[in-house]
Structure 1
Amino acid sequence: MSRHAGARSIEVLPRQLLPKSGAIRPSAERHRERVAAGAAPLYVADDEERDRVPTIPRKGVVTRALSSTGNLFALGLDTIRSTFKRPFAARDVLEQFWFVVSVSWIPAMLVAIPFGAVIALQLGTLTVQVGAQSFTGAASVLAVVQQAAPIVTTLVIAGAGGAAICADLGSRTIRDEIDAMKVMGVSPIQKLVVPRVLACIMAAVLLNGLVSVVGVLGGYFFNVVVQGGTPGAYLASFTALAQISDLWVGELKAVIFGFIAGVVAAYRGINTAPGPKGVGDSVNQSVVVTFMLLFFVNTIITMLYLQLFPGKGA
């Protein structure tokens, strides 16, 4: 700001009017965050304007955690609501689906083999000790279909596809592309979030079936070849105790877990901190938060399923 003696003050940048309600504009809040982070300020206010701008109270850890949880649930609800709005970005959904599947299917298969092997070997050893070798097939197959396959599938999707989605949206956020879309009247949720979440759900359902088949075959091979089990007993116990609802609950878990992975990745990408470090931190946080939510939700679904649909003979 330049001033001349005896002349009227001339401002290089016109002052922005402050709302009468006392609300703080997002741009002013981002300016203060840049100043606090040590970045060069874009506009320096004078003492009179600084006194008229209300200070932002610092939030505590619990308040920030509750606020983030509420915003995450709100994004999930907005994603569900925006899915049924027109126009539907079918091409974007297919592109994101192909990308998620292409980076996830090989790691998912490679992880499914040792998972099925470990479950079959552990259960095979235990059933031999208690004299129940005929139930090895049912126990190992049900463990793979109900528990291991949905968890393995979504962990791989969150670690590969979800991390890439978070990094993509985070880079768009720090380049102000998200704000530009809002200014132009384009919904970032409908344009960017919905295709990625639907892609994660479709990839989770598809890869869950693939992981289930690979895990069952791996368990069969290790139980029959390595431990000397009987192929007929392995298959007979599975068909005798398994239910069609066991397969459906695995697919239901895949749908819910894929939705969680996509929403968490999108939320952390849209709400990333400024700079490359903020994008990297958001990617790490998205993977960790997804893992924690997956195991928590898996426990709830398993408890409800066992109470509502008891196994044969129970």
Structure 2
Amino acid sequence: MSAPQQAGPSPITRALTPVGRLFALGLDITKQIFRPPFQLREYIEQTWFVTKVSALPTALFTIPFGATIALLLASLTQQFGAQSQTGAGSVLAIVQQAAPIVTALLISGAGGSAVCADLGARTIREEIDAMKVLGISPIQRLVVPRVLAMATTAVVLNGLATVVGVGGGYFFNVIIQGGTPGAYVASFSAIAQVSDIVVSEVKAFLFGFVAGIVAAYRGLNPPPGAKGVGDAVNQSVVISFVLVFLINLVLTALYLELVPPKGI
């Protein structure tokens, strides 16, 4: 009689295993950040690279975002006779939601894909294994500078996206739709809080950090061959997008519950 075949892992186990490995990599990266030596030169080079490939697309992408929000809110406030609140609604929407999301999408799509492709190419060329044999931690030497570069660059680009988005919304509301400049600015200044900027920057940092972890995970674990690296890049971008929107939902809900709104 032939020995009974052992059953393979269940579908749930197969689905949760990559999640656990991704979470473990994130913890490892977080620990390695505070463990010397820090690769400052690599961090600066990666920060400049991510900024170079993401800054202009972020600015250009934010303009239609801000314009669309301003035009939509202006149309809605006119229907309800609350045109004076257009500035408050559009600017808060850009600061709290649009700017961090646009930054995360561009950081993931431009910077994250490049990081994943670089690490994936090193992995299939067995450079990562060679570093481990030599006693060099690839996480500390390669991954940490890239993840931190994406996170800190996201904070800077979020500020750029906020300024461009608010400027675009102001232009389209005041110039195109004939809104009042004073009412646009006054309504925002009456309801805005410093915490709105803080939560926006916190979102941007977390989005960049998560996108960097996902890019590193897929780059260090690509399918075999050059095609596998390309598939890993696509997967990293898609996974980053999904996680960014989930994290944004959680952070927005917590912010609205914990921070009381400012009265006019």
Find out whether 1:244 has 2:194 as its counterpart. Answer: yes
2:178 to 228, 237, 240: 228
RCO (CA 8 Å, sep 6+): is it higher in 1 or 2?
Answer: 2
* Aligned with 1:172 (options 114, 118, 122): 122
Secondary structure of the corresponding residue to residue 137 of structure 1:
helix
Partner of 1:51: none
Shift of the 188–58 alpha-carbon distance from structure 1 to 2, 3 Å rule, reads farther
Aligned to 1:150: 100
- Pairing of 1:302-313 with structure 2 (within 5 A): 302-313=252-263
Tell me the distance in 2 between the aligned counterparts of 1:64 and 1:162. Answer: 25
Q: Distance in 1 between matches of 2:7 and 2:18?
A: 17
**Which residue number corresponds to residue 216 of structure 2?**
266
Partner of 1:28: none
Find the partner of 1:82 among 16, 27, 32.
32
1:125 Cα deviation after fit: 0.1
Question: How far off is 1:277 after superposition?
Answer: 1.2
User: For residues 56 and 256 of structure 1, do their structure 2 counterparts lie closer, same or farther at Cα, with a shift above 3 Å needed?
Assistant: farther
RMSD: 1.3
Alignment of 1:1-314 (within 5 A): 58-313=8-263
Deviation per residue, 1:162-185 (Å, 9 max, x gap): 001000000111111111111111
**Distance of 1:208 and 1:65 partners within structure 2:** 33
- The Cα offsets for residues 37-57 of structure 1, whole Å up to 9 and x where unpaired, read as xxxxxxxxxxxxxxxxxx997
The superposition leaves residues 181-225 of structure 1 with CA deviations (integer Å, 9 ceiling, x where unpaired) of 111111110011100000001110000000000000000000001
Give the TM-score of the pair, scaled to structure 1: 0.81
**Which one-letter code corresponds to 1:102 in the other structure?**
K
**Separation in 2 of the partners of 1:140 and 1:174?**
47
**Deviation at residue 313 of structure 1 after TM alignment:** 2.6
Amino acid at match of 1:172: R
For the residues of structure 1 that align with 2:64 and 2:138, how far apart are their CA atoms? 40
- 2:224 partner amino acid: P
Structure 2 unpaired stretches of 5+: none
Deviation, 1:62, is 2.3
Q: Determine which structure has more spread, i.e. the larger CA radius of gyration.
A: 1
Q: How many residues align?
A: 260
What CA distance in whole angstroms lies between the structure 2 residues aligned with 1:220 and 1:195?
Answer: 37
Partner of 1:39: none
Unaligned runs of 5+ in 1: 1-54
Deviations 1:115-168 (A, max 9, x none): 000000000000000000010000000000000000100100110110010000
Question: Percent identity between the aligned chains?
Answer: 64
Aligned residue type for 1:240: A
In 2, distance between residues paired with 1:313 and 1:213? Answer: 24
1:164 maps to a residue whose letter is A
In the TM superposition, residue 86 of structure 1 has moved relative to its aligned partner by 1.0
Q: CA deviation at 1:59?
A: 3.9
- Give 1:273 shift: 1.0
Residue identity in the other structure for 2:123: T
| Pairwise CA distance, 1:65 | 1.8
Query: How big is the shift at 1:61?
Result: 3.5
Q: How far does residue 60 in structure 1 lie from its aligned partner after superposition?
A: 4.2
CA distance in 2, matches of 1:138, 1:201: 28
Higher helix share: 2
Query: What is the one-letter code of the residue matched to 2:39?
Result: A
Q: How many angstroms apart in 2 are the aligned matches of 1:296 and 1:160?
A: 20
Structure 2 CA distance for aligned equivalents of residues 277 and 176 of structure 1: 16
Q: Which runs of 4+ in 1 moved over 6 A?
A: none
